[in-house]
Structure 1
């Protein structure tokens, strides 16, 4: 895929399911991958696996709810691989419970990880992209942001905010040669989905309900996402900005 070879890509939550699959995909395409994750061991495992197959990857400990850790990680990544050309905001966290059964402490954690974290990532990395007049930002949101999702009110609100943020920044920075696009997974077989299911009263019933709601008849896998993310980072998408793409087996069909 043109436009990725030699480019420096930061992926948050890169030690997890979708993040690690995306890191491997970008490395396979010739990108230099910085894997940000608060679980440093998981990030290092992904980076080591990529390096063993001849790819370029480094792990950087980073809790995206902490601005100081973001700044330190970006500085370390830039020293290792050069200026950041692509940012993939992928890290996220969720609980599955009706809104009236949640509490403000849980809201704060959801907002801190799913909205404030990406805000800080943008705020730290965008100045360099503006200066170089080039950049690609791909925000991983959720189909919950597009149509709502029972039991995920605050999570859906945060991800919907990420859609609005992406479209607004796409307008503000089009003249700087920076694009902002969003990929929305549907239910995907990750630790996050397992955690969400476990927080419900009947995990197996919930997982089966997700599967039955998807026209293609299966839960997504982490490997279903990297192609769409990489497209938005490539030269092929150079004239595409402010767009939202669902990768969900037809669960959401938005015209």
Structure 2
């Protein structure tokens, strides 16, 4: 079963959202992203929603992207953001966002989906879809927003990868390879953007407490006939020294830090929030 959380739009009216006043030379430490515009994908729930809330608190104007138009509209209304319901698996829909004509100072590539099967049984269409949403779309979005960032001399790209961007798990060929690819894409952008005021980094969490993961815990508990706490410790977190799920707010806090002041030299790096998984 494929569960899809990422997404965007087949067609839309595009208008310039450049803030009326430029960002302050000396950012307000309480609102360091005031005057900046941030685009967050997969923003209707989970990590994406937490990131959107945190960036809004930092003063950013928000463009929120997700496949789930109804849920996205609710999040956008609560945050005073603009909702862009869009299928990131469709390159034409991504192009229809018209981001080359819009101001985007911060890009957070978060949208993702999962499918579990051994390689010999893995549906090629599912494999391709996961790569389109989780690797090709981040490339297309970065390609569209980088020229404006270069012109303004400032930009932040943060890509949500995973411990699976550094480690492998059986039956997750598409997810693991897409996350590894996104780690590489981020590094290439960081090298190309060096000296232009633009940084590119990844945030690589372990299992995060999202509706998708909580559903997996419940399914595993029923399948194995054990409690959910036991599923976490013995199955999902077996390779993780810290035996708990990462909270979305923890991820959002690190994303916000990477988008804030005093981070010009932090680029091309992968930042782990995995409870020590990749240390073992």
Same fold (TM over 0.5): yes
Contact 1:6 1:30 in 2 (8 A): yes
- Where does structure 1 differ by over 4 angstroms across 4 or more consecutive aligned residues? 74-77, 194-201, 203-208
Among 245, 259, 262, the alignment partner of 1:233 is 259
1:34-53 → structure 2 map (5 Å cutoff): 34-51=63-80
Moved more, 195-204 or 219-228: 195-204
Among 96, 117, 120, the alignment partner of 1:72 is 96
Among 211, 223, 232, the alignment partner of 1:202 is 223
Larger helix fraction of residues: 1
The alignment's TM-score, normalised by the length of structure 2, stands at 0.80
Moved more, 61-70 or 242-251: 61-70
Number of residue pairs aligned between Structure 1 and Structure 2: 245
Shift of 1:250: 2.0
Label 1:114 to 1:75 Cα distance change in 2 as closer, same or farther (>3 A): closer
Alignment partner of 1:249 is 2:247: no
1:30-179 → structure 2 map (5 Å cutoff): 30-51=59-80, 57-75=81-99, 78=102, 83-179=103-199
Contact 1:12 1:19 in 2 (8 A): yes
SS at match of 1:138: strand
Moved more, 187-196 or 202-211: 202-211
Shift of 1:199: 8.0
Q: Distance in 2 between matches of 1:50 and 1:68?
A: 28
Shift of 1:75: 4.6
Shift of 1:77: 9.2
Gaps of 5+ in 1: 52-56
Shift of 1:197: 5.7
Q: Distance in 2 between matches of 1:186 and 1:77?
A: 36
Coordinate RMSD, CA, aligned: 2.4
Q: Distance in 1 between matches of 2:127 and 2:156?
A: 30
Moved more, 220-229 or 190-199: 190-199
Contact 2:119 2:171 in 1 (8 A): yes
Structure with higher Rg: it is: 2
SS at match of 2:279: coil
